[in-house]
Amino acid sequence: MRPGRRSGPERTRSRGVYKEDRMNDFRKSTVYQIYIKSFADSNGDGIGDLNGIREKLPYLKDLGIDYIWVTPFFRSPMRDNGYDISDYYSVNPVFGTMEDAVNLIREAGELGIGMMFDMVFNHSSTEHEWFQRALRGEKRYMDYYIFRDPVSGGAPCNWQSKFGGSAWEYVPSLRKYYLHLFDRTQADLNWENPELREELQKIILFWKEKGLRGFRFDVVNLISKPEEFPDDEKGDGRRFYTDGRHVHRFLKELVQKTGIDGMVTVGEMSSTSIENCILYTRPSEKELSMCFSFHHLKVDYKDGNKWALMAPDLRELRRLFSEWQEKMQEGGGWNALFWCNHDQPRVLSRFGDEGKYWKQSAKMLAIFIHLMRGTPYVYQGEELGMTNPGYQRIEDYRDVESINYYGILRRDGHSREDALRILAARSRDDSRTPMQWDGGKYSGFSKEEPWIAVPENHSFINAASEEADEDSILHCYRELILLRKKLPLISEGRIHFTDSGNEKVLSYERSLGEERLLVFGSFSAEEERAEGIPSREEGWELLIGNYPEDGRKDGKLRPYEAAAFLRKGES
């Protein structure tokens, strides 16, 4: 089956017959992530907004999307692009109004699409009323956060912020430090306080009553901190708070008190373990539907350092996929499948080819991840093959982490050119550039200059041109999303990673009853030999691939080729 080729009746069927399944079975579903600031600007201020999403709902419907996860649009000083919330009950006027949010939920629902909102409950903005009252010395609200006395005249411990520098900030008027695992304007919440947990439950209930179908929980495995705060002589402190002592109890309580067990819920898990993710997502535990884990997106971190570049370690990539897929399966857990999000560089620029094999490598990455066991997530523009922008000046960047680390890299002795080269490969802004709707001046995102520069390649990488091309990356994504709905083998089958005999070719097998699906993905710009490619004579048909024709021969794959071969059972 050639990507992008499907009949009119099938497209109608995907919109109608499967409508109820979309709301009830996340195994068959695909989630689309929207970084609201960069998706679509409806009012000409250069910033994406809620009404921009509403205008693009038909596009997402036609893509076959079941759920839309929108990044935070709540009131915020925007120090961390909305992940520093100052009021969980109101909409940031930059993005629209409460009426706009309610209309978005309703209109998406009418199209059979469920809305998922992003809950940032590890920390709040320091501009939140709770924190402001804490600064005034009100004990009730100080207990909503993690304040500690100085130790030996300095910070309570040597933990480091994930954005650089100390994780503690001193408040002279209180003569205390508060903990912030991220920016100093993002104060960590004290989940040990039951009153605080009740406040967070109320927020969930408020938005649930608006008609939401799901929630995404930001860095939720960091919410449970230790009783004591020891120095970390081996690292940055994360081993003391990651998957903390009470995290499972807290999540069970949140789910039970808010009645969201039947909704789609996904937790972002920072530096987590398989064992914990099984517990987070095994249905009997009644915590979350699925987890994001990020180990597979660190295989190009030299010595584990995000800001040290190296080529992807494909052997390690295979090991991680195999381990996470197979162990989560055996433990009854469920993975969120993804390459991209608002915090990661574009996958095509990391594992693919921005040049000659742009189309082939983008499709290969899509096919390889979508046919695994789990629920796929598509990040805006991924379905078009968007790339990193390749900014050349520090002034082009907007991300607080990137700006902070540029200074750190320069202080560590890197030249300006070297520091910018590292940022170009690693910045969170790589994925936050405006959605490329067409080849116009501002890529169809806005009529005015966007808040961040549009990549130059929007002239040929854009939704309008790909809509007109039946062999486009966009059509390949549509096909993959439809296949998951149609084939229980993909949505329900077991998975086992196979050995292709070539570290540049990753492969796995899906199975359900007597049906089998063999999936191969070449991460190479050269022709590569691979073991286990099945023959037509044995009853294996090409289900989907990224070249126009079935070219299997002599056990070789073409550059960046992906091929999924299906063998049906006895009828």
Torsion over CA: 113, 248, 491, 528 (sign)? positive
Query: Can you tell me whether residue 326 is helix, strand or coil?
Result: helix
Contact indicator for 523, 505 with CB cutoff of 8 Å:
yes
* Type of residue numbered 401: E
Q: Please give the Cα distance from 303 to 287 (Å, whole number).
A: 33
Q: Which residues contact 412 (CB under 8 A, 6 or more apart)?
A: none
**Which DSSP string corresponds to 406-432?**
HHHHHHTT--HHHHHHHHHHH-GGGG-
Contact indicator for 6, 482 with CB cutoff of 8 Å:
yes
Active-site residue identified among 49, 80, 268, 401: 268
Q: Which residues contact 398 (CB under 8 A, 6 or more apart)?
A: 81, 429, 432, 451, 452
Rounded to a whole number of angstroms, the distance between the first and last alpha carbons of the chain is 21
Q: Please give the Cα distance from 147 to 292 (Å, whole number).
A: 30
Q: Please give the Cα distance from 509 to 364 (Å, whole number).
A: 16
Rg (CA), the chain: 23
Question: What phi and psi, each to the nearest 5 degrees, are found at residue 17?
Answer: -55, -35
**Both structure tokens of 191:** 């989940």
Q: Please give the Cα distance from 364 to 496 (Å, whole number).
A: 19
Chain centroid offset of residue 387 CA: 16
Contact indicator for 336, 375 with CB cutoff of 8 Å:
yes
Q: Which residues contact 457 (CB under 8 A, 6 or more apart)?
A: 387
Residue 160 DSSP code: B
Q: Please give the Cα distance from 57 to 73 (Å, whole number).
A: 18
Q: Which residues contact 396 (CB under 8 A, 6 or more apart)?
A: 389, 429, 452, 453
Q: Is residue 218 flagged as an active site residue?
A: yes
**Both structure tokens of 205:** 């209930």
Question: Strand pairing partners for 510?
Answer: 495, 517
Other CB atoms within 10 A of residue 93 CB? 9
Active-site residue identified among 118, 218, 287, 383: 218
Q: Please give the Cα distance from 152 to 150 (Å, whole number).
A: 6
* Type of residue numbered 288: L
Share of the chain residues as helix, strand and coil, in percent rounded to the nearest 5: 35, 20, 45
Residues identified as active-site: 218, 268
